[in-house]
Each structure stands twice: as C-alpha cells, then as structure tokens.
A and B are shown apart, each in its own frame.
Chain A
Amino acid sequence: MSRYETVIGLEVHVELKTQTKLFCRCATSFGAQPNAHTCPVCLGHPGALPVTNEQAVLLALRAALALQCTIPPVTSFDRKNYFYPDSPKAYQISQFAHPIGRNGVVEVAFGRTTERIRIHQVHLEEDAGKLIHEPYRSLVDLNRAGTPLIEIVTEPDLRSAEHAKMFLEQLRDIILYCGVSDGKMEEGSLRCDANVSLRPIGATTLGTKTEIKNMNSFRAVQGGIAYEVARQTALLDRGERVVQQTRRWDEAQSITIAMRSKEQAQDYRYFADPDLGGIALSDQLITQVRDALPELPLAKRQRYEQQYGLSEYDAASLTAHVALTKLFDEAMAHAADAKTVANVLLGDVCAYANAHDAPLSTLPITGAHIAQLAALLAQGTISQPIAKKVLKQTLQTGEAPNDIVATQGLTQIQDSDAIDALVTQVITAHPQSVADVRSGKTQALGFLVGQVMRASQGKANPALVNELLKKRL
C-alpha cells in the first residue's frame, strides 16, 4: 500500500461541432488539403478582424450548463500572447477574466459508488494550427487554426489513474449526449492533459505537480498518469524532490519525458481582446439552453434501473451510446415492456449494427418499431423466431413490424386443431423419432417440435406444439 495519496486534475480540450471556425467563416472539416480552409482572419493577415461565431457560444454554454457551471451575465474574450509558428496572430483568443462557466460539478460513477468531481471552469478558445516537421524544414498548416474549442478544467479531485480514465469517458459521454462535440480522441476532437502530484496520506496541502501532455487515447490517459504516479512515488521514496515541469507521454516507450520546467514558463500577458465586445448571456437564454439539455448519462442510467427495473449491466450498456438510449426512450414512450426492448436493442439490433459496421444512427429503425415488435411478442402474436426475422427486415428496409406481420401473414398459429393436424403429419413422417421419444430419448422431442414449427413456417405457438406433441407420444 502506497504511503502517498495521488491528486489529479484534468484539462480537457473539446472541439465544438460547428460548421465554421470561431472567428471567421472558414469550414472546420477534417482532412482537407493543407491551408485550404483559411482566410485573412485565420491567417492573421494585417487588418483582418475576428467576429464571434454565435453557434460556438451556444454550444459552449450548453456544455457549461451540462457541467452544472455558474454562468456569468457577460462572458468575454482575452488574448493569450505567445510566439509560436502554429499561432498566426502570435496570440490565442481565449477566455481568462470572464469564462463562460465556473464552479461546475460532474457526477461520476466509479463502479457502484458515485462521486462529485468539481469543475473549476469551462472556457471558449480558438485552436492553433499544425506544424509538420521535415528534415531541414518545418511546414505550417493553418486549417485547424481558429477551430472552436472549450477547455474544461477540473479541480484536483481525482485520486487514481483509473478514476481519471473513467471520469474522462463519462465526461465524453456527457459531451456526446449534449451534441457539443464528436468527442473523438483519435481525431483530436477530445484532448486531455493531466496535472499529477502526490502527498503523504492525510496531508491537506498539495505536493509539487507535473503536467502530462500528448495522451491521445483513454488508455494513454490511464497509462500516462499511472506511469507518472509510479515515477513520483519512486522519487519520493528515495527522498528526492519532484520537479515542477511539463512532461510528454511517449506511447511507444510507455514513459513520460520532460519537456520544459516551470522556470521557463511564459508570461502570457492576458488582456481583454479589444476587437471583441462582451457577450451578454441573459437569464432567458440560459434558461432556454438549460431546459433544452438532454437527460445526462448517469441520471438516465439510474432512472433505467429504478423506473424500469433493468439490471445495472443493461442500464449501463444502453446508456453507453446516445443512439441506443434514443431508441430505448422512444420505444418506452410507446409503453413497451422495458426488458423486452432492452433485449432486442442490446441483442439483435447491436449485433446487426456490428455485423454491418453501420452506426446505429444510420439504421432505418425507430423506437416505435421496437415498441411494435415488443408488443407483438408480448401479445403472443408472433413467435421469437418470427420476431428475429421481422426485426431483420425492419433493419434492412425500415418497414414497420406491424406491416410486415400483416402483409406476410406471420401471425402465430394459436389454433389447437390446426397445430394438431401438423403434429399428425410430422408423427406419420418420422416414425423413428417417435419411437426414440417413446423409448426415453428426449432429444428427439426437440427434433419433432422443430419439424412442426417448420411445417407451420415458424408461425405455430411453440408452447402449444410442445404440449400437443407430448400428449400424442
């Protein structure tokens, strides 16, 4: 058992899902020719001026409210001054004095317990460009320069690498639920830096921290922090000091490497950007955006367990994807049976999506379809095998299950006389199997049931078939 308590705070950059950049009308799309999406404004040409993208402000406000932040009456932009070739104006337009949100909180489930991780602030800022280093020269691509980001800064409330990863995953889910970002770490639309320090257990002051950058996946976040905790533990155990510095996670070697120490820290000379006025955030606007927020993942998960009696596993699986919860909620709006709907979604629907490598949101199925299917099953109108067949057709064509059942005459046969006639046929056709059953080989009963079902084209009520067969043998 370690003698130290780990203290972690995260700085998470989230690229906002806007059509255009934060201060000009260039497209934000990913993967274009270098410098194709640029103009005098995002190139920092002399005399060009920024104009704020209102959509980005609304998305940032939505994120800040989802993180339960306090929203100021007026939010404004500041300049963060520093020289670097990927920064075309030699300052980044960011928020310093009046960020869009402060003092928020995220409720995070760590296994069975739920903790409140405090959010220090949420602020809007523009992204920098990208440098491409070649032997003997470096190139600058400013397509990404000016892309809107929010930076979410947590308080130092996380206590382990694993919790940091779980927090980040759940934060990403919140961002996705709110439609604020694509949240793709691989494409850089979600980026995370971590501040890590150790202190003796029971201590109240913070130890010296290091900042870890370049963690490009959830696994890297956990790996980078775990490495840093081990490195700092070893240092302290040897009686050495932790040096305050910025370190880079090297994925290939699975280690962190020192980049620069705090003594080389920049003075960013923040001041209010005189090119941009303040943005008033009226109570009316805040209420409107807050009211439009979707139910967040954790709340939804707890509700699924309590309201519908779903298992923790099913509730967690359903809430792991926005598209899945949408279908579930839609189906439940039609008063369907929760357990049946969950089974259909987590079973055949997910399997189909995986097999066809198709995102759920692109499939033509709706919550109403799922509700119909569940009702058809619950009423005994169709059998399980038929249900699978109907579902597959719905997934392929978008036809409603009710219509499929009606037009193809798939309604389950409940009539004993009709089934009995089929039973007679099967018994006559398979004397050997009949003999086997009578001599105690029960597997043969299954075969006969199957034959009756096949003769009914799957429509016979399997329970009734079983009962009638047994009676006759």
Chain B
Amino acid sequence: MGHIWDAPLAHIARSVRQKELSVTELVAHALARIDTVDRRVRAFLTVDGDGALARARLLDAQGTDGVLAGLPMAIKDNISTRGIKTTCASKMLEHFVPAYDATVVARLADAGTVLLGKLNMDEFAMGGSNENSAFFPTHNPWDVTCVPGGSSGGSAAAVAAGEVLFALGSDTGGSIRQPAAYCGVVGLKPTYGLISRYGLVSFASSLDVIGPLTRTVEDAALVLGVLAGHDARDATSASITPPSYVEALTGDIRGVRIALPREYVAEGIDPDVRDAVFAARAVFERLGAHIDEVSMPHNEYAVATYYIVASSEASSNLARYDGVRYGMRVDDAQGLQDMYTRTRSVAFGEEVQRRIMLGTYALSSGFERAFYGQAQKVRTLIAQDFRAVFDQYDIIIGPTAPTAAFAMGAHTSDPLTMYLNDTYSIPMSLAGVPALSLPCGADARGMPVGLQVIGKPFAEVDVLRVAHAFEQATTHHLRRPALRDAYAAKEADA
C-alpha cells in the first residue's frame, strides 16, 4: 500500500475504477496513518472512521466511475457536512451538526471520494498559524515545534503528513496558500466565484474561496476540475463552464510572459525565501519563459485594506452566532441582552472578538466613509494594479509568505506581526485572482518555502501549466517530512 499511496491521484482513482484497488483497503490505510501520525500533528478535529469505512464498503460493492474514485480525503472544519460536526474550531459551534452538505462536499461525493473527517483551523478561519483553534493547535509535520500556518493549517499538515490524499481548505487572505507553503504542499486559491461557496461558513463573503491542498500540481488540477463550475445556490458563483485543467499541463511554457513585482522581494522578506524566489526565476527562464520585474504600487496598502474589508464583513457574518437558535448559549443569562453579550464573550476566542470589534467600528455610522468605504476604493486600486500588469504579462510570481514556518508561540502576543505575515497573499484575495503556492526550496532550517504563481481571473489553466512546468523541472515537491515516513517505517517493521 505504501507505494500506491504516493502515486498521482489520477492513477489511484483509475486503479479503483478498474477494481485493481479496494476502497476499503485505501481507507483502512488512511485511518492507520492518521492513528499513527495525528497524535503528533493534530490535524484532525473529527475523524469519522466508521462513516468512512461504511462508505468505502459501499463504493467497493457498487463500484464507482468517479474522477476521484475511492480517494480518502478530509475537509476543513468550516465547510458544512451533513450529519458531521462542523465547528469552525470554535467553542461557539463545538457541538454543531449541519443539516446540509456544502456544494463542494456533494461534488466530491459524486466524484467517488471518501470523507475521513474534518480538519483543524484557526477559529472561523481568522489567523495564520492554527494557534487560534479553540481546541488545540496543529503542528507542522516538518518540525512539530513550528506552526503549520493557517488558517487551513490542518488541511496542509494532513496532506504533508500523508494522512489524506488531498484536502479542502478555504482562503480569505492567504489561508490556503500560506499553510501550503509552510507545509511544503500545493495549495490553490482559485478565482473568486469559480467554486461555489454554498456551505462554506462565511468569514468575509467578498473574499472567501474554497480550494484544494494536494501533493502535486497535477493533483490540484484534477481536484479543481471536480469542484469548479456554476452553482445556482451561490449568487456570486460565476456562470462559466470550466475547461479541462489536467489537459493544460503540457509542460511547455516557452514564450510565457511572467512578471515579478519588485514589492514582493523588497524589505521584510527572509533572505532564504528571496533566494528561493530568485532561483525559481532562473528555472522559468531556463524553461523559455520571459521574466521582467514590474511594480505594483498599491501593494503596501493591501494589508490595511484587507483587515478593514474582511473584519467588517466578518462582524456581520458572525452576528448570527447569538445563542438563540443553535450553537453555544450561556445558561444563566439575565435576559436577552445579557445572553447575547455573555454567550459571544465566552464562546468566541480573542482573535475573533478582536476582528468583530474592528469590523463593527469600521462600519459604524460616522466612520463607515473613512474606513469601509475608503477600503473599498483602495481595493479597486489594488485590483487595477493587477489588471495593469496582466495587460502585458500572463503570470505574476512571488513568494507566498515572507518567511518559512515560524515557531509556535512566536507571534501569539503580537497580532500586527501576524497580520503582516499575509503581505504577499492578501493582494490576490482583494483582486479576486487565482494564485497557487508550490514548494520551491527550503530555508536554512530545512523548512519548506513556497512560490506563488498568480494568474488572470479564471485563467487557472495558465497558473496550473506554469506551476506544473516548474514542478516537473525541480525536485522540491519530492522532499517529504521525516514524520510522514513514521508510518511507512512502522509498516515495514510489521
């Protein structure tokens, strides 16, 4: 089983379709890996072993012709799963069991996958280290004293540690890409509107997207093909017919015009990360792409803009957690107002409360014009920066994050430093353009470094082709954390 576990997803799914591989065996293998590894990684909030095995037996009995036939995977715990707890890593929803499946969950099921469970995250996707989970932090499989990144830290860690074949995350300002970079896996934030948000617990509705975390670009293309496409239940879902993403992976990027914004490799970036990006630039040139340095002048306002826009929307989106209909409620309240105030004070963590207050202030009468209104204008300027560059270039590249994974506890007392860590991932969220992070090297400690490949709206095909060509030309993606091999070693012993 060890060998097939490392194969491309398309290969594994084909073996399942042709009945050469049993889904039950695959799922049992995944559960055994989780059992061995997850006590150190702590990627899972819920493991639904019984459900997964039952589903596997059903698929084996009925057979499946899905694109992702039999593939064991897991989903970030802010994506609604019918009958399985969806907590958003918050005390507020600690016992909340949704009544419906998110559109992406239904599409993955239709494609033949098996859901193993739900993955840890920063509470309500607010954070970049997974330390804001109300339950426990997830650890980076490369070094368990480091954070896996966030907020989709559980998703990235589970893929890196080999606990699942792929995972879903969500990205509002970098929450797929940054943990993918920290854990040395591929993370794709698609164009806003390409994948339905129906069932994704809203953080910032104008920024939130769902995307895959995988081991390779090819796997990302395969999963994206299942997830993408219009959904009548999401009014912000684009009415486009997705192309074949896998067919785009030609390996040929000759003549592709690539831009490297000066602002992405300026001060504040770790020298090891900068070196890795420059090395990547050389790879692209060798592959026949044309690279220029460009300027994106409004980049410096992106973080401030993001924290106003995202927090404002969050303050409204999280208002429904009021203790009235579902979720936590303090049981000794003195009247309605007291119930609201104390429920929300007790059940929301510090970072969530900070952002609700920030957003409430930014939307208040008298301040709205100066904050939320102004931020929307700057957002337009940032989007225009992208349009201007994309008038002349096909792709933008840059680092995913200024550093590789940092030590747990390093920034917990300093939210501002934590926010600035999103400098390179936020602008793409504000502009709504697709961006993918893939491994491009390591820092001096050996921790993975991520390269970001950014494309025009709905040009995932270009992003995937360029990232895939880079991956094929390098070996960074073949490096595996030692912890991932713990199970393989145990299996060999047995």
A residues within 8 Å of B by Cβ? 40, 43-52, 79, 81, 83, 85, 88-91, 140, 267-271, 273-277
Contact = CB atoms under 8 A, between A and B. Distances in A.
B236 interface: yes
A275 B99 contact: no
B377 interface: no
Contacts of B198: 47-49
Given A45-B99, A271-B363, A140 B235 contact: no
Contacts of A43: 325
Given A40-B99, A43-B325, A269-B316, 12 more contacts: A45-B98, A46-B93, A47-B198, A51-B235, A81-B315, A89-B320, A140-B325, A267-B365, A269-B364, A271-B312, A271-B313, A274-B313
Contacts of A83: 319, 322, 340
Contacts of B232: 51
Nearest to A265: B365
A271 B315 CA distance: 11
A274 to B, nearest CB: 4
B80 A46 contact: yes
Contacts of A276: 235-236
Contacts of B235: 49-52, 275-277
Interface residues of B, number: 43
B372 interface: yes
A267 B79 CA distance: 31
A46 B77 CA distance: 12
B102 interface: yes
Interface string B305-335: 0000000110110011010111000000000
Nearest to B208: A274
A57 to B, nearest CB: 12
Interface string B67-111: 000000000001110000010100001001011101000000000
B313 A46 contact: no
A47 B326 CA distance: 14
B121 to A, nearest CB: 14
B137 interface: no
A90 B319 CA distance: 5
A271 B368 contact: yes
Chain A, interface SS category: loop
Nearest to B88: A46
A49 B336 CA distance: 27
A79 B360 CA distance: 13
Contacts of B93: 46
Contacts of A47: 78-80, 86, 98, 102, 197-202
Contacts of B102: 47
B233 interface: yes
Nearest to B326: A45
Interface in B337-368: 340, 360, 363-365, 368
Nearest to B336: A85
Nearest to A52: B235
B36 interface: no
Contacts of A271: 312-313, 316, 363, 368, 372
Nearest to A142: B325
A269 B363 contact: yes
Given A44-B325, A51-B233, A274 B99 contact: no
B364 A267 contact: yes
Given A45-B326, A271-B372, A274-B205, A88 B320 contact: yes
B247 interface: no
A278 to B, nearest CB: 11
Contacts of B372: 271
The 8 A-B pairs at the shortest CB distance, nearest first, are namely A90-B319, A274-B206, A274-B205, A269-B363, A46-B201, A47-B199, A47-B80, A47-B201
Contacts of A46: 80, 86, 88, 93, 96, 98, 201-202, 320
A156 B400 CA distance: 58
A81 B325 contact: no
B234 interface: yes
A38 to B, nearest CB: 10
Q: Which of A40, A88, A89, A274 has the most CB of B within 10 A?
A: A274
A45 B100 contact: yes
Contacts of B325: 43-44, 88, 140
B100 A91 contact: no
29 contacts: A40-B98, A44-B320, A44-B325, A45-B100, A46-B201, A47-B78, A47-B79, A47-B98, A47-B102, A47-B197, A47-B199, A47-B200, A49-B235, A50-B235, A51-B232, A52-B235, A81-B319, A83-B322, A85-B324, A90-B322, A91-B319, A140-B325, A267-B365, A269-B363, A270-B368, A271-B312, A271-B368, A275-B205, A275-B235
A85 B201 CA distance: 21
B399 to A, nearest CB: 29
A40 B97 CA distance: 12
Contacts of B364: 267, 269
A45 B363 CA distance: 23
Nearest to A51: B235
A365 to B, nearest CB: 44
Contacts of A89: 319-320
Nearest to B318: A90
A79 B202 CA distance: 15
A395 to B, nearest CB: 47
A353 to B, nearest CB: 44
Contacts of A81: 315-316, 319, 363
A273 B205 CA distance: 9
A77 to B, nearest CB: 10
A281 B440 CA distance: 49
Give the interface centre of A44, A47, A79, A140 by most chain B CB atoms within 10 Å: A47
Nearest to B200: A47
Contact of B233 (A49, A88, A273, A277): A49
Nearest to A138: B336
A53 to B, nearest CB: 11
B319 A48 contact: no
Given A47-B79, A47-B198, A275-B205, A90 B312 contact: no
A88 B321 CA distance: 9
Contacts of B319: 81, 83, 89-91
Nearest to A50: B235
Nearest to A80: B316
Contacts of A45: 80, 98-100, 326
Contacts of A85: 322, 324, 336
Nearest to B313: A274
A321 B354 CA distance: 58
A48 B100 contact: yes
Contact of A269 (B200, B204, B365): B365
Contacts of B199: 47-48
A298 B204 CA distance: 49
A339 B420 CA distance: 82
Contacts of A269: 315-316, 360, 363-365, 368
Nearest to B196: A49
Interface string B101-125: 0100000000000000000000000
A268 B360 CA distance: 10
A279 to B, nearest CB: 10
Contacts of A140: 324-325
Nearest to B204: A274
A46 B202 CA distance: 7
A87 to B, nearest CB: 9
Q: Which of A40, A48, A50 has the most CB of B within 10 A?
A: A48
A83 B318 CA distance: 11
Contacts of B320: 44, 46, 88-90
- Which of A81, A85, A271, A276 has most chain B Cβ within 10 Å? A271
Nearest to A273: B205
A460 B202 CA distance: 82
A44 B325 CA distance: 9
A417 B232 CA distance: 80
A268 B316 CA distance: 10
Contacts of B336: 85
Given A46-B201, A90-B322, A269-B364, A79 B234 contact: no
